[in-house]
Amino acid sequence: MGLLFWLLTLNAAAQTAVSFPTADGGVVHADLYGAGLRGVVLVHGGRFDKASWKEQALALDKIGMRVLAIDLRGKGASRGPGMEDMYTAPFGHDVLAAARYLRQIGAVSVSLVGGSIGGSAAASAVAMAKPGEIDRLVLLGAKPDVAPQTLNVPKLYILAKDDASGDGPRLPSIRAHFEKAPEPKRLVLVDGSAHAQFLFQSDQAARVMNEIVTFIRPPHHWISLFDGKSFAGWDKRNDLWAIEDGTITSVPGGARRGDLMTVEKFRDFEMEFEWRVAKGANAGVKYRLQGTLDFLPGARGAQTAEGTVITLDIPPQKPVSVLGFEYQIIDDLDGADTKRGDKWAAGALYEFVGAKKSKPAASGIWHRGRIVVQGMHVEHWLDGEKVMETQLDAPGVVWSKPGSFRAATTGPLLMHRQMETPLALQFHSSKVWYRNLRARRIN
């Protein structure tokens, strides 16, 4: 139960109350959590409401999801035709409206998770949706009212083996529906008799949450990190970054605290991106973030001789320069750092392991970057060529000169306290452009 425990012990983020119309003239009220690129709609059962999902919503928020817990019509302030009868109300309209709302505010994918009658409503939304509007469906103790053949998205059915209604065990009818549903699909049976959302109050809570997270956040699935037009999925804290001709670009200035982080977090991953720099420019892509380099006095942490404060956390909202391992991005021909050696050249593990490549990376042209991280193994690729490979915990890799500025920053890096962290684009007061950024988890 390690994953669930870890998720639920993180600091809680506040939710935002939102509302939106349905196609049949209703209105749905909901709680919105997070700002990730991947959306999740949580749909309650008959004995629950949107607030009942709070622990699960916070857990999904903490792994970078954008979560919408809704009240179906007739619950709370949600209203719509047919709401007087819970068993015949057209709840599918409410769920589909929620999925479309997430798309409108920046989600690039939407998964539905529904318990009991909420699962049936979610299935109805899938049947009603246009291709591409809904990506995945999770059914907790739910037998959909729609024909199995209409559920043309990946599906996860979760059911307690002894779950029963007044008419008898639920498993036979749910299994029959599952068997007729098209692939891809999966049926997970857990111990006990807890029904739908009551599973989260049982000893199967951790397993159920792990199954949901694994299903809606599958490994080996590429995630687009940039939609070409907005900062959706990014934790943008100041005006040092802009969108320009379908790229993310820096806005050079005097400030030093301006790194741009993803909302979503990655542990073992592969990242691909294209980058271009102006003449002499310097930048980087950071991963496995271990804290911040804070140039404001009074922050919590260790004071270095240069007056920089090293913190072991990343405070929310405040502009920061994050401390992490860095894929060096630089103009190899005119960048000042490259004169120091290959540990400061494009593609290097900045200052630690040099980049060995067939030709320098010039300014003014697009280059292809690739980062592979698995456990402590790291690879950096540049323009299709592997230019750096190392183990982050190998003796001597993370080095520093005693008493130097770097000596203060290597301590947190050597600790490896944080293994699953955002990715970050370094702000270095020079001009850099990025496009076609994407990532996928390896495990």
What are the domain boundaries of the chain? 2-216, 223-441
pLDDT in tens, 47-72: 999 999 999 999 999 888 899 999 99
Which pLDDT value is given to residue 63? 83
Report the relative pairing of strands 38-43 and 109-115 from DSSP bridges: parallel
> Which top CATH class is 223-441?
mainly beta
Tokens of 347: 């593609």
CA contacts within 13 A on the Cβ side of 278? 10
- Read off the pLDDT of residues 351-394 as tens digits, 9 standing for 90 and up: 999 999 999 999 999 999 999 999 999 999 999 999 999 999 99
| CA dist., res. 86 & res. 98, Å (int) | 19
Q: What span, in angstroms and rounded, lies between the C-alpha atoms of 254 and 429?
A: 7
Separation between Cα atoms, residue 241 and residue 19, nearest integer Å: 30
Continuous segment of H or E residues that includes residue 120? helix 117-128
Please report how the helices 2-9 and 205-216 are oriented relative to each other, as an axis angle in degrees rounded to 10: 80
Contact 367, 382 (CB under 8 A): yes
- Quick check: 183 and 174 in contact, CB under 8 A? no
Q: Which two tokens stand for residue 233?
A: 């999925």
Residue type for position 320: V
d(CA 144, CA 76): 24
Q: What is the pLDDT of residue 396?
A: 84
CATH level 2 (architecture), domain 2-216? 3-Layer(aba) Sandwich (3.40)
Q: In this predicted model, which residue has the larger pLDDT, 289 or 402?
A: 289
pLDDT confidence of residue 313: 79
Mean pLDDT of the chain: 90
Confidence of residue 320 (pLDDT cuts 50, 70, 90): confident
The first and second tokens of residue 8, run together, are: 């639920």
- For the beta sheet containing 16-21, the strands, ordered from the edge strand earlier in sequence to the opposite edge, are 16-21, 27-33, 65-71, 38-43, 109-115, 136-140, 155-160, 185-190
pLDDT at 2 over 50: no
- DSSP string for 150-169: G--S-EEEEEETT-EETTEE
How far, in Å, CA of 184 to CA of 202, rounded? Answer: 28
Q: What's the DSSP call for residue 294?
A: E
* SS3 assignment, position 360: coil
Specify which residues 20 forms β-bridges with.
Answer: 28
CB 321, CB 295: distance < 8 Å: yes
Per-residue model confidence (pLDDT) at position 404: 58
> Do β-strands 269-277 and 385-391 pair in parallel, antiparallel, or remain unpaired?
unpaired
Residue found by looking up tokens 């490259």 in the block:
338
Of 9, 37, 5, 25, which Cα lies nearest the Cα of 263?
37
- Across residues 170-181, what is the average pLDDT? 97
Q: Could you tell me which residue, 36 or 198, shows the higher pLDDT?
A: 198
What DSSP element (H or E) covers 309? Answer: strand 309-311
Cα 304 to its chain centre, rounded Å, is: 33
CA 297 – CA 220 distance, rounded (Å): 42
Q: What is the pLDDT of residue 300?
A: 45
**Could you tell me how far CA 39 lies from the centroid of its own chain?**
9
How much is the pLDDT for 413? 87
Residue 403 has pLDDT above 80, yes or no: no
Residue type, 356: K
Q: How far apart are CA 298 and CA 317, in angstroms?
A: 17
Q: What does the pLDDT read at residue 355?
A: 97
Number of alpha carbons in the 13 Å side-chain half-sphere of residue 337: 22
Residue 156: closest CA among 61, 40, 265: 40
Q: Please tell me what DSSP assigns to residue 372.
A: E
Predicted pLDDT at 36: 84
Confidence (pLDDT) at 12 = 42
CA–CA distance, 258 with 248 (Å, rounded to integer): 14
Residue 403 region, left (φ>0) first, then alpha (ψ -120 to 50), else beta? Answer: left
> Phi, psi at residue 414, to the nearest 5°?
-70, -25
| Cα(388)–Cα(288) distance, integer angstroms | 17
Tokens (6 digits) for 323: 């401390």
The confidence score (pLDDT) of residue 385 equals 96
What integer pLDDT is reported at residue 87 of this predicted model? 93
